[in-house]
Amino acid sequence: MARQSISFTNPNDAWLKEQVESQEYSSKSELINDLIRQVRKSQAQIDWIQAKLERAEKSGFTGNSQEQIRQQAKDLINGRLSTK
């Protein structure tokens, strides 16, 4: 596992310490890794939606209904749909 040295602002450091002290996480490293996983998942969802929008704009139409598009977005958010 790669080791890094990073600096935090005082408010961010205090928040991290609170999370560890409340036993929400066992260490700051565990918390930071969890936050990064969450952001990466969110970015994958954003990228998927952006790609769908770009394809729709280029084609000028879609065969999917509004409900189908909504359901696909919900499935993606809930981890039930591939981002490809």
Segment 24-38 mean pLDDT: 94
If one counts the domains in the chain, the total is 1
CA within 13 Å, CB half, 17: 7
With cut-offs at 50, 70 and 90, classify the pLDDT of residue 1: confident
Phi, then psi, of 71 in degrees rounded to 5 = -65, -40
With cut-offs at 50, 70 and 90, classify the pLDDT of residue 83: low
Residue 1 counted as domain residue: no
Tell me, what DSSP letter sits at residue 60? S
Domain that holds residue 43: 10-77
User: What was the pLDDT predicted at 72?
Assistant: 85
Segment 2-17 mean pLDDT: 94
Residue 18 counted as domain residue: yes
Residue 64 counted as domain residue: yes
Residue 2 counted as domain residue: no
Q: Could you tell me what percent of the chain has a pLDDT over 90?
A: 48
